[in-house]
Amino acid sequence: MDSMERALGNRDNASAALEQLIRNVASHHGLEPSDLLPNIAKASAAEPLMPEFDTYGRRLPEWERRGFASENEMQLALELRATRQMMEELRFGQAQLQKEREDSRKAAEHKAFVDDIAPKAIVKLSKLESGWKVTKAMVEKAITEFPQLRDDPARAVKAAFPDELKQHYAKLSAEKRKARGPEMPADARGRGATMPDPGRFSAKDALVMIES
């Protein structure tokens, strides 16, 4: 590991050391270098990893190890690859920009639609549902959850907030009961009966009350 670290730290030997390291790791796992590094293999399919020295012990220049016919050919290939990569990045950036613009356009249209229908839906629901107070945010959430009801936002709100609507009516019912006050029990004495003066109450009076 120390020798490998020194080799990788040396600019002149880093390329050869890295290639040898990849070969050793691939061999250890029973793989080809291209299997170990598929992304690099795709990017440099025309540049297979080759040993630094040939069978005669001659040190091969980089362009020859990369499989090119000359150094000039290698430089042209590198420039072509860089150009293609730049074009790919530009295409990706353009597609991303178009997507962002489309998303912004849809968001603006959605906001304008909500601004237009929310006030009408709020007034309609207040009238139909006994003063139920609905917010603009509720309308927006409702038509987002139920896009098939965009043309009937009041219905969409009731579908999206059934519990809130129930609570509204429960509150109204409780307020009405409170306004009426406690209910009095029915008079058990019968209609038209009057209670005589306690000082002059007699058995006859009691009999009349029982029979009435």
For the cut 80, the answer to whether the pLDDT of residue 162 exceeds it is: yes
For the ranges 50-54, 82-86, 156-160, 167-171, which has the lowest average pLDDT?
Answer: 50-54
Instruction: Indicate the average pLDDT of the chain.
Output: 78
Same domain, 104 and 174: yes
Q: How many domains does the chain have?
A: 2
User: How far apart, in whole angstroms, are the C-alpha atoms of residue 23 and residue 53?
Assistant: 14
State the pLDDT at residue 113: 95
In a domain, 209, yes or no: no
State the pLDDT at residue 42: 46
Q: Are the beta carbons of 136 and 114 closer than 8 angstroms?
A: yes
Same domain, 10 and 59: yes
Express each pLDDT in 68-97 by its tens digit: 888 888 888 888 888 888 888 888 888 888
Dihedrals phi, psi of 53, to nearest 5 degrees: -120, 145
Cβ of 176: how many Cβ atoms within 10 Å?
A: 9
For the cut 50, the answer to whether the pLDDT of residue 45 exceeds it is: no
Pull the structure tokens for residue 51: 């040993």
For residue 156, what are the CA distances in angstroms to 13, 131, 136, 211? 70, 17, 13, 63
Residue 105's H or E segment, with its range, is helix 71-128
Where in the sequence is the domain holding 137, given as residue range(s)? Answer: 100-179
Same domain, 174 and 110: yes
Express each pLDDT in 185-197 by its tens digit: 555 444 555 555 5
Same domain, 53 and 110: no
State the pLDDT at residue 41: 45
State the pLDDT at residue 206: 52
User: How far apart, in whole angstroms, are the C-alpha atoms of residue 121 and residue 114?
Assistant: 10
In a domain, 106, yes or no: yes
For the cut 80, the answer to whether the pLDDT of residue 6 exceeds it is: no
In a domain, 134, yes or no: yes
Higher pLDDT, 43 or 134: 134
SS3 for 31-55, per residue? Answer: CCHHHHCHHHHHHCCCCCCCCCECC
Q: Which amino acid is at 16?
A: A
